[in-house]
Structure 1
Amino acid sequence: MVKAVVAGASGGIGQPLSLLLKLSPYVDELALYDVVNSPGVATDLSHISTAGPVKGFLPKDDGLKGALTGADIVVIPAGIPRKPGMTRDDLFKINAGIVRDIIEGVAKYAPKAFVLIISNPVNSTVPIAAEVLKKHNVFDPRKVLGVTTLDSVRAQTFTAEVNSDSSNKNPSKLNIPVVGGHSGDTIVPLLSKASPAVNVPAADVEKLIKRIQFGGDEVVQAKDGAGSATLSMAYAGFRFAEAVLRGAKGESNVVEPSFVYLDGKAIAGADKVKEAVGVDFFAVPIEFGPSGATKVVDVLSGISDSEKKLLSVAVEGLSGNISKGVDFIVNSASK
């Protein structure tokens, strides 16, 4: 029996993500947690004719404890969008605090669960989660996973559009490794590692890379300020969650990218990536197994010179993002 929890289930990502998880054959029970509306969302989903109960929880009456107790996988899209007059630092502090508090609950009530973090900024919220779990002595690098799948989904879709090889126009059949982080120029698509190989006209390469890196802006503009990428992110989060669950059930060769902790020996090949990039967290294709992230798929060897330059820029940005997350927890503890 697999109990899945969505923390932030009433939001723009949380609702469609919860719907997809309700339809998944890998999920037997669904618990929805949010500060508002989660019982209503749960009741709505419970009318769907697939097996498994759905229950909604609010903060009152120890709702976080009720949602998380017995959880096998916790998916966290919780957070707020940036509002008029709000600085990016204001937004960071609010979302960082939300993630910290949910992870405190995970540490207490579901310390062995897989933790999938969607809440932005992922480059900082994953280090926040790691620091909180370390504080409680329950941190397992194989199970704390930043969801960067949307970058790969966009890479597949956008590359297929400009690929001059007419036989490779189906985005679902393309594998475009995307490494680094999950924001702007920390996102590094490795077109040279595409499988099957793609043929992108030279004049379109730079434009394609920028579109993959800043695809979120495209959605915000198209929604005319009324929202951001919620449906595509829900799909990506669901795809990632199913990959984790498929690996947990023993299925072999299950690979998805994830922003993971590289230090130590928990994930095979992670130390080699850390040696190459010099940061503690990094997004790279991961093979999943019963214990979570089991090994890194090496895609950094033999990349092009232009990709090496992109990687250098990404690492510089990541270093500051990671430090910001770690410092948030250190400074919170010192107050």
Structure 2
Amino acid sequence: MTKVALLGAAGQIGTPLSLLLKTSPLVDELSLYDLVHAPGIAIDLNHIDTPAKVSGFLPENDGLKKALNGADLVVIPAGIARKPGMTRDDLFKTNAGVIRDLVTGVATVCPNAFVLIITNPVNSTLPIAVETLKKYYVFNPAKVFGVTTLDVIRASTFVAQALGEPQPQKFKVPVVGGHSGATILPLFSQSEPAVALSEDQRDAITYRVQFGGDEIVKAKAGAGSATTCMAYAGFRFVTSILKAVSGQSGIIEETYLYLPGIPGGKEIAAELGVDYFAVRVEFGAEGATKACPIEVLSAYEKEKLAIAVEELKGNVKKGIEFSAL
């Protein structure tokens, strides 16, 4: 029996993500938590003819504790979304506190659960989650991740569009770094299958992968940010984790994580000079089993990597400093 807890289930990411999770044969029980509407969403989902049992909880009457009780995997998209003109850093003051409080609940109720952070700015909120778990002596680096799958999906999609390929999933483009702007680095030189892009195409696609969220915020005219595509990305990452837990081998996904705690990660962190970074990670039944090396980069990618690392250092520092307050 596998129980997934979704914290922030009534939000613009949480609601479509809850629907996707309800349809998964890998989920036996789905627990929804939010400040409003979670019980109603649960009843709504329970009218769908898939086996997963759904329950919903609000803050009163120890709702968070009840939602987390027995959870094997916790997904957190809770927090405010970006609006036009707002950067991920603008989100920090509110969302940092949200992550600290919710992860405190995880630490005390289901400390052995996987923890997947979607709440932006992920570059800073994941370090907050890690530091919070450390305070309760329950941090397991093999089970705590920032979800950067949307960047990978965008890279495949935008390459396919540029090349006129009708099947975006044909392309596997590694995306490393962080999860905002210039910290996101798609590695087209390592695409499988190999792709031939002009410099203009490479530059344009890199920019779209890095700033695709701005494109959506502007198009929605203040009504939201990247929500349905992020829900899909979160679902894909959850699915990969649950497949690995069930015993499937060869599960590899990019994710933002604390590198020194993972086999192969300490060396990558030492080379980069930053402890948090998204790389390709191999998963097993107990979580992350190996951080894959970044491999040989093009001159263009090396230049972009230096920029990503420098910006990430500040993002990580911001999260850690908040946790020390």
Q: Distance in 2 between matches of 1:308 and 1:270?
A: 19
Distance 1:310 1:83, change over 3 A: closer
Counterparts of 1:226-305 in structure 2, within 5 Å, are 226-264=223-261, 267-298=262-293, 300-305=294-299
Structure 1 unaligned segments of length 5 or more: list them: none
2:66 counterpart letter in structure 1:
G
Once the two structures are superposed, residues 243-286 of structure 1 have per-residue CA deviations (whole angstroms, 9 ceiling, x without a partner) of 0111111101111111010124xx22101211221101000111
Q: Distance in 1 between matches of 2:263 and 2:87?
A: 39
State the TM-score, normalized to the length of structure 1.
0.94
Asked if structure 1 preserves the Cα contact closer than 8 Å seen for 2:156 and 2:169, the reply is: yes
| Map of 1:147 onto structure 2 | 147
Q: Distance in 2 between matches of 1:95 and 1:182?
A: 15
Off by >6 Å, runs of 4+ in structure 1: 84-88
**2:64 pairs with 1:69:** no
1:202 positional shift: 2.4
Q: Distance in 1 between matches of 2:271 and 2:249?
A: 27
Q: Distance in 1 between matches of 2:89 and 2:169?
A: 37
Q: Distance in 1 between matches of 2:25 and 2:112?
A: 22
Q: Distance in 1 between matches of 2:85 and 2:77?
A: 23
1:137 positional shift: 0.2
**2:323 pairs with 1:329:** yes
Q: Secondary structure at the match of 1:61?
A: coil
Q: Distance in 1 between matches of 2:91 and 2:188?
A: 33
Once the two structures are superposed, residues 51-108 of structure 1 have per-residue CA deviations (whole angstroms, 9 ceiling, x without a partner) of 0210000000000000001000000000012468988666311101001000000000
Q: Distance in 2 between matches of 1:100 and 1:3?
A: 22
Identity score, percent: 57
Counterparts of 1:1-150 in structure 2, within 5 Å, are 1-82=1-82, 91-150=91-150
Which of 196-205 and 309-318 deviates more? 196-205
Between Structure 1 and Structure 2, how many residues are aligned? 325
Q: Distance in 2 between matches of 1:90 and 1:160?
A: 32
| Map of 2:178 onto structure 1 | 181
1:330 counterpart letter in structure 2:
A
Distance 1:148 1:87, change over 3 A: closer
Q: Distance in 1 between matches of 2:95 and 2:265?
A: 28
| Map of 2:191 onto structure 1 | 194
Asked if structure 1 preserves the Cα contact closer than 8 Å seen for 2:39 and 2:56, the reply is: yes
Q: Secondary structure at the match of 1:214?
A: helix
Distance 1:169 1:199, change over 3 A: farther
State the TM-score, normalized to the length of structure 2.
0.97
1:320 counterpart letter in structure 2:
G
Distance 1:234 1:111, change over 3 A: same
Q: Distance in 2 between matches of 1:89 and 1:6?
A: 24
2:93 counterpart letter in structure 1:
K
Structure 2 unaligned segments of length 5 or more: list them: none
Q: Distance in 1 between matches of 2:159 and 2:271?
A: 27
Q: Distance in 1 between matches of 2:78 and 2:246?
A: 27
Q: Secondary structure at the match of 1:279?
A: coil
Q: Distance in 2 between matches of 1:5 and 1:190?
A: 33
Asked if structure 1 preserves the Cα contact closer than 8 Å seen for 2:34 and 2:57, the reply is: yes
Once the two structures are superposed, residues 101-130 of structure 1 have per-residue CA deviations (whole angstroms, 9 ceiling, x without a partner) of 000000000100000000000000000000
| Map of 2:303 onto structure 1 | 309
| Map of 2:221 onto structure 1 | 224
2:152 counterpart letter in structure 1:
S
1:221 positional shift: 1.4
Once the two structures are superposed, residues 28-54 of structure 1 have per-residue CA deviations (whole angstroms, 9 ceiling, x without a partner) of 000000011100111100100000210
| Map of 1:204 onto structure 2 | 201
Q: Distance in 2 between matches of 1:89 and 1:278?
A: 22
Q: Distance in 2 between matches of 1:48 and 1:59?
A: 25
Which of 270-279 and 60-69 deviates more? 270-279
| Map of 2:160 onto structure 1 | 160
CA RMSD, aligned part only? Answer: 1.5
